[in-house]
Amino acid sequence: MIFDILTLFPGMFDGAFSDSIIKRAVEKGLVSIGIHNIRDYSDDARHQSVDDYPYGGDAGMLMKPEPLANAIRASRERLAGKNPLVVYMTPAGRLLNQNVVKELAEKESLILLCGRYKGIDQRVTDNYVDMEVSVGDYVLSGGEIPAMAVVDAVTRLIPGVLGNMDSAETDSFHSGLLSHPHYTRPEVFEGISVPEVLLSGHHANIRKWQHQKSLEITRVRRPDLLTAENI
Ligand code: SAM
């Protein structure tokens, strides 16, 4: 999987991708991440401006279409032959859930476009964007944190990234349900014991208990996730 991230703040990604699972995935060559400054694609060589006033007199600034279009075209050229999907991070997009993550993980490459200010000129969306994705019903200052969430969630699903694929398969949402509770040592912590079934070594009973707990938690917290297939 190749991620090409288009942003006005490349420095924001330094820490996010330099540790743990994503770092190892990059080192193993399972994912590659390019981070590109949209400002480098400004057609205004002198000031490298990337924003302008919106028509209609709204407050705030908008990202101009030319630098965005130039940046996306350059990214498509870099990823030629890799079928890049252009994804714009926006509160108006499809809500990011595990099904959307699975869909994205099947692509060969993703161009993640991070907005700033009041967002981007609609004509860029119309002409260049294949999919719009939101990370929730709230407004962040930019698309960088949403793009990090996409890279992280998608990377976890790339075969070979997690030491044991089971750990992705037993995560919340993979089967459509929330995850069951988890316990590690010690057997008793602050007066609370690990449920006995988990100490029994009886794998069928353990799976049954885990599924039951997943169902209980999902029923209470996210009944909207329950379907005929997963109950
Ligand atoms: N005016 C926009 C609106 O009301 O939808 C919000 C603009 S926001 C301040 C600036 C940028 O942050 C957006 O262009 C988008 O890229 C990103 N952003 C903010 N919230 C987001 C969310 N919930 N999901 C994805 N991207 C988001």
- CATH code for the domain in which residue 81 is found: 3.40.1280.10
- Tell me: pLDDT of 74 over 80: yes
Four-point Cα dihedral 107, 72, 78, 106, nearest 10: 0
Please state, for a pLDDT cut of 70, what percent of the chain lies above it: 99
Q: Which of 8-17, 28-37, 42-51, 120-129 has the lowest mean pLDDT?
A: 42-51
Does residue 164 fall inside a structural domain? no
CA of 1 to the centre of ligand 1 (A): 25
Claim to verify: residue 89 and residue 180 sit in the same structural domain: no
| Assigned token pair, 112 | 């993640």
- Tell me: pLDDT of 172 over 90: no
CB 7 within 8 A of CB 73: no
Protein residue with its CA nearest to atom 24 in ligand 1: 134
- Tell me: pLDDT of 96 over 90: yes
90 residue type, one letter: T
User: Which domain range does residue 34 map to?
Assistant: 2-155
Pick the atom of ligand 1 nearest to 96's CA.
Answer: 24
Four-point Cα dihedral 20, 145, 76, 22, nearest 10: 10
pLDDT recorded at residue 230: 85
Claim to verify: residue 41 and residue 147 sit in the same structural domain: yes
Domain end marker among 155, 183, 208:
155
159 residue type, one letter: P
- Tell me: pLDDT of 71 over 80: yes
* Residue 166 binned pLDDT confidence (cut-offs 50, 70, 90): low
Claim to verify: residue 147 and residue 33 sit in the same structural domain: yes
Does residue 62 fall inside a structural domain? yes
Protein residue with its CA nearest to atom 9 in ligand 1: 141
Claim to verify: residue 207 and residue 134 sit in the same structural domain: no
211: CATH? 1.10.1270.20
Does residue 39 fall inside a structural domain? yes
Domain end marker among 101, 121, 155:
155
Protein residue with its CA nearest to atom 2 in ligand 1: 118
Number of domains composing the chain: 2
The residue with tokens 């449920």 is 195
Does residue 12 fall inside a structural domain? yes
The residue with tokens 């699903």 is 157
pTM over 0.85: yes
pLDDT mean over 9-33? 97
- The SS3 assignment for 106 reads coil
pLDDT recorded at residue 165: 63
Claim to verify: residue 199 and residue 125 sit in the same structural domain: no
Domain end marker among 155, 184, 202:
155
- Tell me: pLDDT of 143 over 70: yes
pLDDT recorded at residue 170: 79
Pick the atom of ligand 1 nearest to 63's CA.
Answer: 14
pLDDT mean over 7-14? 98
| Assigned token pair, 40 | 């480098």
Integer Cα distance of 206 and 196 in angstroms = 10
- Chain segment 25-70, per-residue pLDDT in tens: 999 999 999 999 999 999 988 899 999 999 999 999 999 999 999 9
Claim to verify: residue 150 and residue 174 sit in the same structural domain: no
CA of 172 to the centre of ligand 1 (A): 26
